[in-house]
Amino acid sequence: MPKTTRITVLAAVLLISSCDRANNHSPAEGADLVLTGGRIYTEDARHPWAQAVAIKGKRFVYVGDDQGAEPHVGPATERIDLGGRLVLPGLIDGHTHPGMMGIERYGPSLPESGHEDLLAAVKAYADSAADEKWIRMCCWSEYQYVHGREGPHKRDLDEIVPDRPVWITSSSWHSYWLNSKALEALGVDKNTPDPRAGIATYVRDQNGDLTGWVKEGAGWQHFAEVFTIDPALHRERVIEFLNILSEHGVTTVYDGGNLDYEDEVYGLLSELEKSGKLPLRYEGTYMIYTPERRHLAVQEMRRLRSTYGGERLRFRTIKLFMDGVNSNRSGGILEPYADDPSYVGNTMLTTDELRDFLLELNKEKFDLHVHAIGDLAARTVLDAVEAARALVEGDFYPRVTIAHLEIVDPADWPRFTKLGVTANFTAWWHGVSAEDPSSASLGEERSARNYIAKPLFDSGANVTFSSDDWTPDVLSPFLGMQVGHNRQFPGEWGVRGRDASAFLAPASEKLDLELMLKGYTINGAYPLRMEDQIGSIEIGKLADLVVLDENLFDMDRSKIHTIKPLAVMMEGEFIHGEIQGTVYQSLKFQEK
C-alpha cells in the first residue's frame, strides 16, 4: 500500500476512536475557536489523527472529528475551515542560542582561499580600523589549520599586527587564534594553567610556549570581561532570532547558554515577556564550561530565576560542556584521534565529580543538559547517572539530556533507555561536508557511525532535535526535518562547503518523518517537564499548533526545508501567518 494511502486509511480509522473519546466531553459553554476540516497530526499515540479541535482560553477542549466539534460551537465561537490542510503540534527546539545573536561583532568575513589571503585580509582590516582596540574577525577553517596537535600560530598574526590584540574565531566557534598582544591583554602566559587539560586549553608547543591557539572554555571565560554588548544591536538581533523561530512554528525552546552574558540576555527576555512580546516559552540556563563553574551553577540558577523568571521565561536546567569538538581535537573519545595517536581522551568532569554534581541537582531539584561530542564523554555521563541513581532512595529527580552525540559506542545505545537519559541531535548537521575536519580526526570506521539515532528510537529512548546555532538560515525546524530525513544537505548548499550530492551513511539513519516530528514535539517536551502541557494536540493541553499549506508527508522530500507555516498558534491565539483571509502579524510580539 502506498504511504499516502496508508496514512489516509489510518487517519480515518483512528478518527473514530478519537471522536468517541472527545464526545464524552460535554462543554459547559461554547468554545472560543473551533477549527474544522483539517488533517491534524496530533502526536497523541492513542489517537494520532483528527479533523477538528475546539479551544477555550489557552487550551484544547476538544480533539476529534468535525461532527463532534459541533456541540462546542456557541453564539460567540469563531469558526475556521482548515480546507484539508495539515496541522502539527507546536514545535520544540531542544537546544539553541537566541541570546548569542548580536554578541559577536566581527570585521569583514575572512576569505576561504588560503592562508596568505586570510592574513592579507586581517592586515587590511587592521589598517583600516585604526580606532578599534581589538581586531576581531571570523572565520578560520579547522579543516585547513588543524592536523592532529598542529593548529594556527600567533607568529603569523604578530608579523602583520604587532601592536594591537587580534582575536580570530574559527568556523566551529570552538577555537580561537590570538596574537601575542591578545594573550597579554588577557593576562595569559606560559605559566597560566589550562582550565581543563585536553579540552579547555591554551595550546603550547614542544617547549611549553603558547602558540596562540585557544580552545573551548579557555577562550569563553574571557568573553564578557573583554567584549561588551551593544544593547541596541543585541536587542534587534535577538528579536530577529525569536521571530524566525516563532514564524517557523517553534513555540518552546531550550537555551543552550550565553557564556557570561546571562544578565544581558535574560534581562532583555524578561523585559519582552513583561511587555507581552515574548513569542515562545523559553528555558534559560547557566553554562558550565570550566570545572570550577559547577560550584556556582545552582546559586546562579537560583539568582537568574528570582531576578528574571516569569511564566514563559523559566530556569530549571543547567548546561554542562562534558567535552569539546572533534574538529579541534578536544572531543572526549575512547580511542586516539586518527591523526594524533598520542591523544588521551578527557572529560570536563570525572565520573565521580559528575555523580556528586547530579546528587546535588537531585537535592536542589534542577535538570541537566550536557554537551557531549565524543563516545568517552557520552559514556562518562551515562556512568555518572547510573552511579547517582544507585545512591538515591526513591525517585531520581534530574532529567538528563545528552546533546550532539557525534559518536556513541554501540554498547551504550541501550543505556539511554535504561537510565532515562534523553538524546538530543542537531539534525541539520547530519549531511556530508565537503571539508570535514571531524572525519579527518576520527578516521573511516568511526566516521561511518556519526550521528546515529535510529537504534535509540528503536530501544525506546527519548530522542529530540534542535538547531543549535544563531545563524538565521539554519534555524527552521523544517531544515532539520529534511536533513534528518535524507541525511543530505539541500541542493543549493553545494556552494557552502557542503556536499549536497551525497548522503551521510548509513542509509538506515534516514529517519522517517514520523520520528523527526516526534523529536520536535512530544519527545522535546519531556526534558522541559512539560509533556503534560505541550508537544501534542490533546484535550487539556495548551493550544499550540502549526498550519501548513504543504503536506509534509506527500511533498518532495528535497523541498521540506522550504516550508514556512501558513499560520502558527500559541496558547489559543494565532501569532503568525494568515488563515481564512485574516492576517496575523505577531500579535504578541510587535517590535517597531
Span 547-567, pLDDT tens digits: 999 999 999 999 999 999 999
Do residues 463 and 563 share a domain? no
Do residues 364 and 505 share a domain? yes
Omega before 506 within 30 of 0, i.e. cis: yes
Q: Considering the chain, what percentage of its residues have pLDDT values greater than 90?
A: 83
161 pLDDT exceeds 60?
yes
The label of the residue with cell 608579523 reads: 159
589 pLDDT exceeds 80?
no
Do residues 381 and 490 share a domain? yes
Q: Would you say residue 534 lies in a domain?
A: no
Total residues found in the chain within this entry? 592
Confidence of residue 495 (pLDDT cuts 50, 70, 90): low
Assigned C-alpha cell, 572: 489559543
Confidence of residue 581 (pLDDT cuts 50, 70, 90): confident
Q: Which of 207, 226, 245 is the last residue of a domain?
A: 226
162 pLDDT exceeds 60?
yes
15 pLDDT exceeds 50?
no
Confidence of residue 588 (pLDDT cuts 50, 70, 90): low
Count other Cβ atoms within 10 Å, centred on residue 231. Answer: 12
Residue 39, pLDDT score: 98
312 pLDDT exceeds 90?
yes
Find the mean pLDDT for residues 140-159: 92
Most confident residue range from 279-288, 470-479, 488-497, 571-580:
279-288
5 pLDDT exceeds 90?
no
Residue 7, pLDDT score: 42
Q: Would you say residue 368 lies in a domain?
A: yes
The answer to whether the beta carbons of residues 137 and 106 sit under 8 Å apart is yes
What does pTM read for this prediction?
Answer: 0.93
Q: Would you say residue 258 lies in a domain?
A: yes
Quote the CA–CA distance of 215 and 197 in Å, as a whole number.
Answer: 10
Do residues 85 and 116 share a domain? no
- Domain residue limits at 577: 3-89+545-585
Question: Which CATH number fits the domain that encloses residue 511?
Answer: 3.20.20.140
The answer to whether the beta carbons of residues 315 and 528 sit under 8 Å apart is no
Residue 591, pLDDT score: 55
Assigned C-alpha cell, 225: 570581561
Count other Cβ atoms within 10 Å, centred on residue 209. Answer: 11
Quote the CA–CA distance of 276 and 325 in Å, as a whole number.
Answer: 38
Among the residue ranges 46-60, 105-119, 504-518, the one predicted with the least confidence is: 105-119
Quote the CA–CA distance of 354 and 16 in Å, as a whole number.
Answer: 49
Do residues 246 and 220 share a domain? no
Find the mean pLDDT for residues 259-283: 96
253 pLDDT exceeds 90?
yes
Query: What letters, b where the CB count within 10 A reaches 16 and e where it falls short, cover 171-205?
Result: bbbbbbbbbbbbbebbebeeeeebbbebbbbbbee
Do residues 392 and 450 share a domain? yes
Quote the CA–CA distance of 193 and 221 in Å, as a whole number.
Answer: 13
What distance lies between CA 522 and its chain's CA centroid? 16
Q: Would you say residue 321 lies in a domain?
A: yes
Residue 496, pLDDT score: 55
Secondary structure letter of residue 294 according to DSSP = H
Do residues 111 and 239 share a domain? no
23 pLDDT exceeds 50?
no
Find the mean pLDDT for residues 328-334: 96
Q: Which of 211, 226, 241 is the last residue of a domain?
A: 226
Do residues 235 and 222 share a domain? no
Do residues 149 and 46 share a domain? no
Q: Would you say residue 590 lies in a domain?
A: no
Give per-residue pLDDT as tens, 67-84: 999 999 999 999 999 999
Q: Would you say residue 539 lies in a domain?
A: no
Do residues 355 and 474 share a domain? yes
149 pLDDT exceeds 90?
no
Do residues 487 and 524 share a domain? yes
The label of the residue with cell 559528575 reads: 354
Find the mean pLDDT for residues 443-463: 95
Q: Would you say residue 430 lies in a domain?
A: yes
Q: Helix, strand, coil % (nearest 5) of the chain?
A: 35, 20, 40
Residue 26, pLDDT score: 53
Burial of 6 (C-beta count, 10 Å sphere; 0-12/13-18/19+): exposed
10 pLDDT exceeds 60?
no
Q: Where are the alpha helices (DSSP H) in 166-280?
A: 180-186, 217-220, 223-226, 231-247, 262-274
Tally of domains in the chain:
3
Residue 50, pLDDT score: 98
Residue 2, pLDDT score: 42
The answer to whether the beta carbons of residues 323 and 332 sit under 8 Å apart is yes
Residue 6, pLDDT score: 40
Do residues 463 and 320 share a domain? yes
**Sheet containing 400-404: order of strands:** 287-288, 317-321, 367-372, 400-404, 422-425, 463-465
Residue 17, pLDDT score: 41
Q: Which residue has the higher pLDDT, 292 or 2?
A: 292
Find the mean pLDDT for residues 216-222: 96
300 pLDDT exceeds 50?
yes
Find the mean pLDDT for residues 443-461: 94
Residue 583, pLDDT score: 74
Residue 27, pLDDT score: 59
28 pLDDT exceeds 90?
no
Residue 143, pLDDT score: 86
Confidence of residue 18 (pLDDT cuts 50, 70, 90): very low
Confidence of residue 19 (pLDDT cuts 50, 70, 90): very low
Confidence of residue 249 (pLDDT cuts 50, 70, 90): very high
Q: What are phi and psi of 90, to 5 degrees?
A: -55, 140
Question: Which CATH number fits the domain that encloses residue 215?
Answer: 3.10.310.70
Q: Would you say residue 171 lies in a domain?
A: yes
Give per-residue pLDDT as tens, 496-549: 567 888 899 999 999 999 999 999 999 999 999 999 999 999 999 999 999 999
The average confidence (pLDDT) of the chain is 92
493 pLDDT exceeds 90?
no
